[in-house]
Chain A
């Protein structure tokens, strides 16, 4: 290891606790790398250099006194993390990639971030996102797009594209994202990193700017399953400030041990469902090959592959693109130029709303507000929103039936590897189709984990996802952890990622 920024989060922690290097050195290394590479990559919307350096100095003081007392420090003490700019961090601008929140500085910190800070983590900066997390490419940010570290002509995926690019390019050891329809897993796949979408309700959403409230969940982008587990473990659990959050008592060994640990490094007894509905015409041949090869490796590690059916998969896309915009149209009603953000002048209050929203929301956000408002409007509610919610029940039942047969389900994350910037700009529907494999897990509320399983001929990462029953992140993280012990796809770095 020549560079501190090459270390995984777990390696950072042991290095800090063992006194091999200081938090200040680590944070400085990341800040220098951001300074050097992020002008072209644009993973960050805002870098909190001053605060991060001050917190690192403080962490070093505390680490050295713990070492003297022979006491264990808080588990993440001195470790830097990046945070997607839809999560509030007190005193740091939170834009959601939107002009309607330019100059907004939240007076509080999201619970997920606050818990990580209490565990000792340091926020390096806020990462780029599609406006209000609506998009699959990070091209919809009002503050400019983010580039894919593997190929700067391509998108990093989205909407957590800034977080995925930051981790892939070693501009942060791990980052928080959010996943409403695939916004952690799809960019993780496009950037060759590991992305965890936890079970709905596992992580408090207090301080997360809401998009689709029955779907949104805070997740993690990291170098490997073990790091993703570490971050998840320290932010999960019930929060009195979020009524949808659920108590989780997680320990690191619960989350990272092999699912059936009869023998170290093996997966004997694990039944992996392979749904035929995810291996469809239109799936890029190299994606299918890499996923099939990964399945074969899982089999050689002792897992059993079982064909399963998820018959309502083809309806997931329309269900999602009715339910999520409907919820978004309600959630985004709060952005009206009254309490925060810019206000466009008008004589009447009604015109203030219309003008401010019409000019400060971007095209994709307005499209989704329109779609959602239509789906909820009188005369269309039953045919669109009502029908979508019923089909959503059928999609969840598909998974419940499948999980009676198997422990986890494996599938590609996306039909294709990262696409070229601008490729889907004129055709929103073709962009929506990028989400077909990630949406079902959100509709059913189940956890999903994306991790790299190869590269296509152009050198772009290919991802695979494991989905599991509610609250069984341990199965996904454990199985992927065993896979990652046997492979090195997750250790590959983008072309200029090595140059210092």
Chain B
């Protein structure tokens, strides 16, 4: 199967990735080849098989609902590219 350029652009959009035309063309080719190779998966009959789950036998333990100290605002903002008044600063979301 070959993905269309529109499909690849759509995926890049969903993934919030700005890609150059060269990247879009390359990923179109490579993803098509990878998905082709994976088509054997579709040929396997999985009717009646449950999807994999990590859930273990033992019950999910509960911990006491107690307040614990967390990281300080200062520590959390230390790596922010832009911060102001103890908050992350971002460009406008709404007009």
Q: List residues of chain A with CB under 8 Å of any chain B CB.
A: 103-105, 107-108, 200-201, 214, 240, 243-244, 246, 314-315, 318-319, 321-322, 329, 333, 336-343, 346-355, 357-359, 361, 363, 366-367, 369-371, 373-374, 377, 383-384, 386-394, 396, 428-429, 432, 443, 445
Contact = CB atoms under 8 A, between A and B. Distances in A.
Given A338-B88, A387-B42, A214 B14 contact: no
A383 B17 contact: no
B51 A343 contact: no
18 contacts: A103-B79, A244-B54, A315-B40, A340-B80, A347-B91, A349-B91, A354-B18, A357-B15, A367-B31, A370-B12, A370-B27, A373-B11, A374-B7, A387-B41, A391-B41, A393-B52, A429-B34, A443-B52
Given A338-B88, A348-B92, 5 more contacts: A107-B78, A340-B79, A357-B16, A384-B41, A390-B51
Contacts of A315: 40-41, 44
Contacts of A347: 91
A390 B91 contact: no
Contact of B71 (A107, A246, A351): A107
Contacts of A343: 81-82
Given A359-B18, A373-B15, A390-B49, A214 B82 contact: no
A352 B79 contact: no
Nearest to B20: A358
Task: List 6 tightest A-B contacts by C-beta distance, closest first.
Answer: A358-B18, A389-B51, A340-B79, A107-B75, A343-B81, A318-B38
Given A318-B38, A343-B81, A386 B51 contact: yes
Given A347-B91, A349-B90, A319 B41 contact: yes
A136 to B, nearest CB: 15
Contact of A105 (B31, B41, B78): B78
Contacts of A384: 38, 41
A388 B41 contact: yes
A385 to B, nearest CB: 9
A367 B42 CA distance: 22
Interface of B: 3, 7-8, 10-12, 14-19, 23, 27, 30-31, 33-35, 37-38, 40-42, 44, 46, 49-52, 54, 56, 60, 63, 71, 75-76, 78-82, 88, 90-93
B38 A357 contact: no
B78 to A, nearest CB: 6
Nearest to B72: A107
Contacts of A432: 34
Nearest to A352: B91
A366 B52 contact: no
Contacts of B82: 343
B23 A366 contact: yes
A389 B27 contact: no
A373 to B, nearest CB: 4
Contacts of A371: 31, 34
A390 to B, nearest CB: 4
B34 A393 contact: no
Contact of A394 (B35, B49, B54): B49
Contacts of A246: 56
Given A105-B79, A370-B12, A354 B42 contact: no
A428 B34 contact: yes
Contact of A390 (B27, B50, B93): B50
Contact of B15 (A342, A370, A393): A370
Given A339-B79, A343-B82, A346-B91, A429 B33 contact: yes
Nearest to A215: B54
A411 B31 CA distance: 30
Contacts of B92: 348-349
Contact of A200 (B30, B54, B71): B54
Given A390-B50, A428-B30, A337 B81 contact: yes
